[in-house]
Amino acid sequence: SQSVLRQWVVQNLICALYEVGRYQEAAERAKSALDSYAKMSKSQHPRALRVATIYASSLREMGRYEEAVILQRQTLAQQRRTLGHEHPDAIISANNLTSSLSLLGKREE
């Protein structure tokens, strides 16, 4: 459907913005996309969780470490519940969380 195609295109645009260092724009678009997923009651959809991962990474790259850690913890918990602990997306999120905590001088409990 067009809705699925649009979500895929938006996710790829957000990823591309992040990859080229346009973190602010990536974060803004990711936040908007997450709001849309929430309105559709699809905030735990794998695509929404990938967008949340990029959003958190963008926050981290902008030096907003505390916000990034909060979102990374939430996203990782949702990924583990919906995708499983060994899913590649969950493993990437766990690594991202570890990196953010390291930047804050913290270790994961």
71-105 confidence digits (pLDDT tens): 999 999 999 999 999 999 999 999 999 999 999 98
The answer to whether residues 78 and 35 touch, using CB atoms and an 8 Å cutoff, is no
Residue 1 CB coordination number (10 Å): 6
pTM of the model: 0.91
The Cα–Cα gap between 94 and 82 comes to 15
Stretch 14-43: mean pLDDT: 94
What is the reported pLDDT for 5?
87
CB 47 within 8 A of CB 8: yes
Length of the chain: 109
pLDDT at 63: 95
Q: What angle do CA 34, 35, 38 make, to 5 degrees?
A: 85
Q: Per residue in 31-77, pLDDT tens?
A: 999 999 998 888 889 999 999 999 999 999 999 999 999 999 999 99
